[in-house]
Amino acid sequence: MNSSCAHDSNAGKESQRAEEDAAINRSLSRIKNKLLVMSGKGGVGKSSLAVNLAAGLSLKGYKVGLMDVDLHGPSIPRMLGIHNQTPLQHKDGIYPIPVNDLLKVISIEVLMPDKDSPTIWRGPLKIGVIRQFIADVIWGDLDFLIIDSPPGTGDEPLTVAQTIPGAQAVIVTTPQEISLSDVRKSINFCRQVDMPIMGLVENMSGYICPHCGQKSAIFKKDGGKRTAVSMKVPFLGSIPFDIQLMEKGDQGQAYLLNNPAPAVKEALDGIIEKIITSADQSQSQKKVLQPLTEVLPTMNAINATSNSVKIAIPMAEGILCNHFGHCEQFALIDLQGKNIIQKVMVTPPPHEPGLLPRWLGEKGVGLIIAGGMGQRAVSLFNERGIKVLTGAPQLGPEELIAQYVDQTLITGDNVCDH
Ligand code: ADP
């Protein structure tokens, strides 16, 4: 293969990825709160918790989506008895299946050739399938999206965490030490990818007697609570082991919607209340911080509203191009917390007034670091919710981002006078 072919195929991949990013942003932009239910290992009750959180939030009147992204064990459709239903597929994407008026569900199972045979996905393919799936689902307006993510701290949860900007983690564990050591890894994983942790849930904590309904502590308990305290993570509550919860799951019924034992209902309600309070707090923080981000979108402001942003830098000859409208390319940089997750170079369409704000908006750009830019263009970007820093120095994109992240980026005069 000659070098120009390799170049073309890289450019093709980059533009496909940029299109996918734009589709993901479109699909997720109308969702207020995104919760990623995670666990250090399988079998601790992650999917059961995801189902019951979603059901419980819908019972309280919230519009909820539940998305199963666990490639190796998509169990949510079975737990809700909808595994034989086929979601509506449209040229623009896939519609989730309604469970009740307020709750809709989709599973990555819809992309699987045969639901009952084990599917072997290899590395990059797995990541591609997860990204494509997240981009394709048409949610509409939601208060909460609950995502059942793959267990562990490998490529799959990493892809989910990086693909869903603004998501917060709910981590599930059981009280045994083996599970607690995994949960510490999950907490560190969230910290590394700068994903806020809404809290920790201890599942199978104590036992509900099927005869008398009383709770007894036949297993160890409170290990999750102690881990939460020692790792400085909010503790959301404990759910007892209840054979009915397991049976309802096997029968395809969400336990919270089908006569749960009072002790389990109380436990789940308590966790849901804490989640609602925490989500309300993040929403009101967003509102308070809005004017601040408009004045100067510093790293702090962006971190507080969502921990990721796509930044566009106009480029010519490898450095920032002072004349915005005449740049050769844009560097599009995905920043998660303080880390660059990916950088792609894209060529803008031929210059036409008003075109770039729409084009960059469709790519999901939230901030532009520019040299000179006309006031009219600044206003057009702002109208689309894209913030603009002007007067930045003519440096390479990585250097500009490093200065921006460290809050040492000095923006001088906007040298564009038209
Ligand atoms: P994961 O998603 O972590 O792999 P699941 O939610 O699939 O775990 O749960 C594993 C098994 O444990 C399922 O059979 C489920 O019904 C059962 N289970 C989960 N939580 C409880 C609980 N609190 N009481 C009883 N059974 C439970």
Average pLDDT on 45-70 reads 95
User: Residue 292: what pLDDT?
Assistant: 31
Tokens linked to 205: 């904590």
Residue 333: pLDDT band with limits 50, 70, 90: very high
Look up the pTM and report it: 0.69
Contacts of 131 (CB under 8 A, 6+ apart): 20, 24, 159, 163
Nearest CA to ligand 1 atom 6: 45
Same domain membership, residue 93 and residue 182: yes
Q: How many CA atoms lie within 13 A of 216 on its CB side?
A: 7
Ligand 1 centre to CA of 131 (Å) is: 26
Asked whether residue 173 is domain-assigned, the answer is yes
Tally Cβ neighbours within 10 Å of residue 154: 11
Tokens linked to 116: 């009952």
* Domain endpoint, select from 255, 285, 315: 285
Average pLDDT on 167-188 reads 89
Same domain membership, residue 158 and residue 139: yes
Q: What angle do CA 203, 208, 212 make, to 5 degrees?
A: 170
Domain range enclosing 297: 288-411
Q: Which of 44, 48, 241 to mutate to test the pocket of ligand 1 (most atoms within 8 A of CB)?
A: 48
Integer Cα distance of 277 and 254 in angstroms = 23
Same domain membership, residue 297 and residue 211: no
Is 416:374 a contact under the CB 8 Å cutoff? yes
Same domain membership, residue 384 and residue 356: yes
Alpha helices in 83-139 (DSSP H): 123-136
pLDDT over 70, % of the chain: 86
Coil, strand or helix at 31: strand
Asked whether residue 417 is domain-assigned, the answer is no
Ligand 1: residues with CB < 6 A are: 39, 42-48, 75, 203-204, 239, 241-242, 245-246, 249
Same domain membership, residue 239 and residue 194: yes
Same domain membership, residue 339 and residue 256: no
Helix (H) or strand (E) holding 236: strand 235-241
User: In the 8-state DSSP scheme, what is residue 94?
Assistant: E
What is the phi-psi region of residue 168: left when phi exceeds 0, alpha when psi lies from -120 to 50, beta otherwise?
Answer: beta
Asked whether residue 316 carries a pLDDT value surpassing 80, the answer given is yes
User: Residue 89: what pLDDT?
Assistant: 87
Asked whether residue 316 is domain-assigned, the answer is yes
Integer Cα distance of 414 and 418 in angstroms = 10
Asked whether residue 233 is domain-assigned, the answer is yes
User: pLDDT tens digit string along 198-224?
Assistant: 999 999 988 877 777 777 766 666 788
Tally Cβ neighbours within 10 Å of residue 118: 8
Nearest atom in ligand 1 to the alpha carbon of residue 42 is: 4
Ligand 1 centre to CA of 243 (Å) is: 10
Tracing tokens 């503790």 back to the chain, one arrives at 235
Nearest CA to ligand 1 atom 15: 246
User: pLDDT tens digit string along 353-395?
Assistant: 778 999 999 999 999 999 888 888 888 898 888 999 988 888 8
Integer Cα distance of 47 and 29 in angstroms = 24
Asked whether residue 404 is domain-assigned, the answer is yes
Same domain membership, residue 93 and residue 52: yes
Asked whether residue 239 carries a pLDDT value surpassing 80, the answer given is yes
Q: How far is CA 110 from CA 52, 69, 168, 305, in A?
A: 22, 11, 25, 33
Q: What is the CATH number of the domain that holds 371?
A: 3.30.420.130
Nearest CA to ligand 1 atom 12: 45
Nearest CA to ligand 1 atom 16: 246
